[in-house]
Chains A and B, each alone.
Chain A
């Protein structure tokens, strides 16, 4: 994977990258000072009115998370771990606009009466955040914790585990972390981009937030664009934009592409004929895709989707934390089956075997890694079904001939 260009491209009323440079002066020149004094229920109402949804993957409404946090002295965590190797938007955001993320973290912390604030991010991002912290006048006490560069290190229970023990492995969830998370305390965990949006909603209000995007997907979103594109951009686009718009924004030519993987390795493929649909969970429902954390992987026409998919499933199998049997053994088995299909083995039962394994691992781990991996496998078999048929007959449509 090539090193990605981090200059974010903006569109429309975008708001996350308005500051020219990452320091406090230009942050305040662009956005003004952080409004203090938000308490829980007004912030909750404002977030609900804004329709802000989480940007870390699951897309859970931000206000619901806030509402679920138990009483007491909660811990608030900004999650910028971004384990997904193709995701760069959190790193870009922390580099370009660390103060916006910190504003969001501090505001959320104030609103819930937090006892402790954490920012969890990769080694690459932490120095910049540390500098930003030192500059601030409100002097929040934020503990910076390094996230290992591993696929599952950003999973909610892995984050809590990392904060407590230094080991970023997911845990079996006996209770929701909103009620019992960091050291048994109620815990609010948000992706860093979600917190940056929260900081803007707290400043300018829900109506302003809704002035970008659609009713279904208000505000802007960050996308990490990679794969068969001229440059690997992080782009900010309004919610509800189509894949075609976002690709163009990132300098890619949609007509050169066969499909785009939406939502990262736990996501789903969207074929070229659907590039005009809105990039939302509802718009892409028939493909089971949703923007998730905004990862977009482009696949050029003429490239074999099955080979690309098999490689990703192998990566997912190797990313298993190897704690849960069905994940530890099921994912490598799935990867092997996909590799055999991709290699053009003439064994028609392989497709149904992949389906069976995907069904077998779903829901059977402490975290959603097997579920997400199974979803990706099903999507690959579905979107590339013609290729699957051709491969199982010993041909590959992408190479117009034998595998």
Chain B
């Protein structure tokens, strides 16, 4: 029985990492103002939102299975307050930070109209902090970390995020930047 919890917890964590990578990339595409092939801009925005909700579902599964797992012995408080877990507190704590940030991102994302654009933007910048926390947590506390395929998977995600962030910082990032510099 414990084995099942453990395996399920791991699997949902791995899926979460991939989904949050996707969410982050979709957020960046959304910010660029560009459509994707076959996907208009508003669909990118909608996909960004729905993928983040799906990722959140997997993240909640990940956390709650580990709370049920007698070996990890994670309490609700441990899942919310970073670095308080009885087992592997540092690496688990990194995941807790990421979890808190995700909750903040999703809640403020859904209440965007209510809280105003300024507050939304300020909190949404945390997306770029959230991902490295999740990544470090996955490598540091995962029992899969020794597996080559997992290493390849995690570093693959990191590569994608690095490419996305690099593009975000590049001069021609926004769709309209050329026209606005007078180079139509």
A and B touch in the complex (CB under 8 A): yes
The count of residues in chain A whose C-beta lies closer than 8 Å to any C-beta of chain B is 3
Task: Tell me the bound Cα distance from A95 to B182 in angstroms.
Answer: 45
Main secondary structure of the interface of B (DSSP, over half): helix
Chain A hits for B179, CB < 8 A: 329
User: Contact residue range for chain B?
Assistant: under 10
**Contact residues in B for A329 (Cβ distance below 8 Å):** 179-180
Which A residues are CB-close (under 8 A) to B180?
329
Beta-carbon contacts under 8 Å, B150-184 to A: 179-180, 182
CA distance A333 to B179 in the complex (A): 11
A to B contact number (C-beta, < 8 Å): 4
* Chain A residue, CB-CB nearest to B179: A329
Chain B residues near A333 (CB-CB < 8 A)? 182
Main secondary structure on chain A at its contact with chain B?
A: helix
C-beta contact mask, B82-93 vs A, less than 8 Å → 1, else 0?
000000000000
Residue of A nearest to B184 (CB): A333
Shortest CB-to-CB span from A291 to chain B, Å, is 36
B2 to chain A, nearest CB (A): 59
**Min CB gap B138→A, angstroms:** 41
Q: How far is the CB of A171 from chain B (nearest CB, A)?
A: 15
- Nearest B residue to A336, CB-CB: B182
- State how many angstroms separate the Cβ of A328 from the closest Cβ of chain B: 8
Q: Which residue of B lies closest to A332 (CB)?
A: B182
Interface flags for A321-336 (1: CB within 8 Å of B; 0: not) read 0000000010011000
With a cutoff of 8 Å between Cβ atoms, the chain A residues found around residue B182 in the complex are: 332-333
What is the minimal beta-carbon distance from A260 to any residue of chain B, in angstroms? 33
Compute how far the CA of A329 lies from the CA of B180 in the bound complex, rounded to whole angstroms.
7
- Bound Cα distance A90, B180 (Å): 38
A333 to B182, CA, bound (A): 8
Which residues of B, 45-59, contact A by the 8 Å Cβ criterion?
Answer: none
Chain B minimum-CB-distance residue to A329: B180
> In A121-166, which residues have CB < 8 Å from any B CB?
none
Instruction: State in angstroms the CA–CA spacing of A329 and B179 once bound together.
Output: 9
A residues 282-335 with Cβ under 8 Å of B?
329, 332-333
Give the docked Cα–Cα distance between A240 and B3 (Å).
94
How far, in angstroms, from A329 to B184 measured CA to CA in the complex?
Answer: 12
User: Closest CB of chain A to B33's CB: distance in Å?
Assistant: 12
C-alpha gap A329/B181 in the complex (Å)? 9
Report B-chain residues with C-beta under 8 Å of the C-beta of A332: 182
A328's closest neighbor in chain B, by CB? B180
Least Cβ distance of A338 to chain B in Å?
A: 15
Q: Which residue of A lies closest to B181 (CB)?
A: A329
- Closest chain A residue, CB of each to CB of B180: A329
Those 4 A-B pairs whose CB atoms lie nearest each other, nearest first: A329-B180, A333-B182, A332-B182, A329-B179
Q: List 4 A-B contacts (CB under 8 A).
A: A329-B179, A329-B180, A332-B182, A333-B182
